[in-house]
Amino acid sequence: MSWSFETDNDFQEQLNWIDTFTREEIEPLDLLFRGPGDPWDPESPAAAAMAPLRAIVKEKRLWACHIGPELGGEGYGQVNLGLMNEILGRSRFGPSVFGCQAPDSGNAEILAHFGTDHQKKKYLQPLLDGNIASCYSMTEPQAGSDPAQFTCQAVRQGDEWVINGEKWFASHARFSEFLLVMVVTDTEVPIHRGASIILVEKNTPGMDIMRNSAVGPYAEQGDGVHGYIRFTNCRVPADHLLGNEGEGFLVAQTRLGGGRVHHAMRTVGVLQKAMDMMCERVLSRTTKGELLATKQMTQDKISDCYTQILQYRLHVLYTAWLIDKHKEYNREVRKEIAAIKAATPKVLQDVIYRAMQLHGSIGVSDETPLMTMWANIPELGMVDGPSEVHKVTVARTVLREYEAAPGLFPSYHTQTQRDLAMKKYGHLLPNEE
């Protein structure tokens, strides 16, 4: 029996513990610490509140579970990670309390694969321990989803790289100890062979954060965590190049594949939380003499939400299972990751909208988490690349498995097929006299 939808008993016990711990100890943080960088910024007031919770998680051996045993992680695999993340997704603080928060989780993977011993000691260990934050900076003000338009350039001069250009929406740059910056190192070749990733330490002269943009309802203008950065003759040592020169996109793949699937896993948690709220509400509210839950139009919404969440959840877990099976982000895996990435905003939009609608006025107020969930939807259609680009990946990979019709009519043309069927089985037909 090679297909199974069951969780090991031992791991289920851990999941039960994570569920209770998240609801009782972590979710209250969301109500009190609402600053845009609170879950990630080691200097935020929330850090002190998270510290004892992190200690408990470490003691339980559930810390940084995305990291393999070679780096001191538990190596639970992506399916188990998916089951964990869908619980942690209930809270903005869940991933940070469990040491698997983006973008640090992906950046740690890059450092683990490509960092020098010195960089690993200086940055990887503190990052894995949750003591510092990090940033991944690729998008530029004039170009996000089209890397061919990237212009931020690094030129080798002696033992140094000299960086000039601008970066945009570099999350957490303002409190990060280091940034992994995608730069053009060869302008003569296509960008996928001419870009590299360079580690830039905080406070390196020549790197200036010009402003920080905010997303959603968390911050006043200017108080965001997404940095607009300018590099002006910013010099970094030559060995800060991660991976080979010109292989920046290969290096980036190390983090983006995992990052996207983890976002999707956490989205399952958000969806389930919205569903829980919706179900409690319709069982609590009456109108025209009966419970909302008994109205067929309510049942239509509940049923659609249940089905959509289950379909999405199984797709996410299937993708996680594929990663565990192949142990790499091959084409098959990348297709599924792109598909769930593209599906994410739509399922959120459908489920959260229905939940808000069924809650009435309180559903659109600031007195439930629904409006915050709603405000985050466009973000998930954009972060790590817009849905359209992921749909292109899915469609291209799917179409690779097909060929054009051999002749004028389709290969499934009924008349042609019937003629072939006649040749094969026609002698068995009863004679029509």
Interacting residues with ligand FAD (CB under 6 A): 103, 136-139, 143-146, 169-171, 215, 226, 379, 382-383, 385-386, 388-389, 392
> Shortest Cβ contact with ligand FAD: which residue?
144
Least distance from ligand FAD to the Cβ atom of residue 183, Å: 12
User: How far apart are CB 226 and ligand FAD at their closest, in Å?
Assistant: 6
Minimum CB–partner distance for residue 106 and ligand FAD (Å): 10
Radius of gyration of the chain (CA): 25
What is the C-alpha end-to-end distance of the chain, expressed in Å?
53
Taking the complex as a whole, how short is the minimal distance between the CB of residue 57 and ligand FAD, in angstroms? 25
What is the separation of C-alpha 94 from the centre of its chain, rounded to a whole number of angstroms?
14
Strands (E), 294-416: none
- Residue 302 or 383 having the CB closest to ligand FAD: 383
What phi and psi values does residue 135 have, to the nearest 5 degrees? Answer: -135, 145
User: Closest separation between CB of residue 231 and ligand FAD, Å?
Assistant: 14
Q: Report the C-alpha gap between 313 and 307 in whole angstroms.
A: 10
**Cβ closest to ligand FAD, residue 215 vs residue 322:** 215
Q: Which residue has the tokens 């989803």?
A: 145
Smallest distance from ligand FAD to CB 304, Å: 26
**CB of 126 or CB of 378, closer to ligand FAD:** 378
- Bridge partners (DSSP) of residue 201 are 178
Q: What is the smallest separation between the CB atom of 170 and ligand FAD, expressed in angstroms?
A: 5
Distance CA 84, CA 344 (A): 18
CB-wise, 137 or 185, nearer to ligand FAD? 137
Nearer to ligand FAD, 33 or 218 (CB): 218
Tokens coding 318 = 């299937």
Q: Which is nearer to ligand FAD, 263 or 359 (CB)?
A: 263
Nearer of residues 44 and 171 to ligand FAD, judged by Cβ: 171
Q: What is the DSSP string of 48-111?
A: HHHHHHHHHHHHTT-TTTTS-GGGT-----HHHHHHHHHHHTTSTTHHHHTT--TTHHHHHHHH
- Taking the complex as a whole, the smallest distance from the CB of residue 324 to ligand FAD amounts, in Å, to 27
Q: Please give the torsion angle defined by the CA atoms of residues 212, 213, 215 and 221, in that order, rounded to the nearest 10 degrees.
A: 100
> For ligand FAD, which is the closer residue by CB, 105 or 298?
105
Q: Which two tokens stand for residue 331?
A: 């084409």
Alpha-carbon span 27 to 35, nearest angstrom: 15
User: Cis before residue 95, ω within 30 degrees of 0?
Assistant: no
